[in-house]
Amino acid sequence: MDPNDPNVLYAAFWEFRRTAYSFNSGGVNSALYKTTDGGKTWNKIHNGFPVGKMGRIAMAVAPSDSKILYAVIEAEKDEAKGMYRSDDGGANWKFLNGDFGLVVRPFYFSRITIDPKNPDVVVKAGLFGSISRDGGKTFKGLGSMHADIHDIWFDPNDSQRMLVCNDGGLYRSTNGGNTMVHVENLPISQFYHVSVDNQEPYNVYGGLQDNNSWFGPSQSPGGVEARDWNLVGQGDGFRVYPHPTKPQIVYSEMQGAEAIWRYDTKEQQLKTIKPYPGKGDPKLRFNWNAFHHKQTSSG
């Protein structure tokens, strides 16, 4: 929405299909639309946009000058993928930049944030985040922090103060994104899945987004702390299960089924138990994770 006129809105239409083993983004109906009458009528934006199929479109309006727009477009042709800018409210667009940091995994990273005071300072979410201070002509990485940047916020009263959230938590900057500091006093984690055992007190097992696999006690003197958790697997943590009769044994996995582990917590020994095809066998297929919860029904 145009921050200065609520009747002006932009809508990015995006075709997306997911199969068992892949993501498919882009189609004939992917496009950017604009309305100037509060949504009663819409017009598709063409001038300056790529020819052919497009995929996901990330888009933002400059708070300080609503005629300045930025969009990162997933396009059929590699040379057309990247950031575009309009200086006339979307009537015409110019291709600016196709850096890897702007176009990587467009179906996943689709957030653009513009400095509320300076329309030439724009930040794009991505693996490590990209910031431009010259209107999108050139980009550099944000300060060092955990990968997979999903959202960026500028202090409206002081653009040097920024907050950035990613798969590792929340980071803050007081110098416009040149350096980032991890906000460590937030007791948050992103679990894919959790399981428990039957010990007294029982333990909780789970995998964290981009932060390995862990287990920890359900209670501890003074409350459960970070130091009470034990590492049992690497990578993108998914499902973690204790052995049903041997509580010292824990099973875990990582993304792409690159590894499935059996961990002995007493001996602190890790063993890979991923199956491999034998000679002449077809290649074993895995989705993003290998463990699947068996669904049961009554009746």
Average pLDDT over residues 283-291: 74
Lowest-confidence pick of 62-71, 224-233, 283-292: 283-292
Asked whether the predicted pLDDT for residue 20 surpasses 70, the reply is no
Asked whether the predicted pLDDT for residue 297 surpasses 60, the reply is no
When the pLDDT of each residue in the chain is averaged and rounded to a whole number, the result is 91
Q: Enter the tokens of residue 111.
A: 């957030």
Q: Determine the pLDDT at residue 29.
A: 85
- Strands of the sheet containing 230-233, edge to edge, are 191-196, 203-208, 213-217, 230-233
Where helices occur in 74-173 by DSSP H, the ranges are 100-103
- pLDDT band at residue 292 under the 50/70/90 scheme: low
Lowest-confidence pick of 21-25, 96-100, 130-134, 165-169: 21-25
Q: Determine the pLDDT at residue 171.
A: 97
Asked whether the predicted pLDDT for residue 76 surpasses 80, the reply is yes
Asked whether the predicted pLDDT for residue 145 surpasses 70, the reply is yes
3-class DSSP state of 228: helix
- pLDDT band at residue 21 under the 50/70/90 scheme: low
Residue 42 CB burial class (10 angstroms; 0-12, 13-18, ≥19): middle
Asked whether the predicted pLDDT for residue 27 surpasses 90, the reply is no
The answer for residues whose C-beta is within 8 angstroms of residue 276's C-beta and 6 or more apart is 284
Q: Determine the pLDDT at residue 296.
A: 41
Asked whether the predicted pLDDT for residue 298 surpasses 80, the reply is no
Query: Which residues, in sequence order, are bridge partners of residue 86?
Result: 69
Average pLDDT over residues 219-239: 92
Asked whether the predicted pLDDT for residue 119 surpasses 70, the reply is yes
Average pLDDT over residues 252-281: 90
Lowest-confidence pick of 14-18, 152-156, 279-283: 14-18
* pLDDT tens digits, 156-209: 999 999 999 999 899 999 999 999 999 998 878 888 899 999 999 999 999 998
Average pLDDT over residues 224-234: 92
Asked whether the predicted pLDDT for residue 295 surpasses 60, the reply is no
Q: Determine the pLDDT at residue 293.
A: 53
Q: Determine the pLDDT at residue 256.
A: 78
Asked whether the predicted pLDDT for residue 142 surpasses 60, the reply is yes
- φ and ψ at 102, to 5 degrees? -90, -30
Average pLDDT over residues 113-118: 97
- C-alpha–C-alpha distance, residues 153 and 164, integer Å: 6
Q: Enter the tokens of residue 60.
A: 């933002």
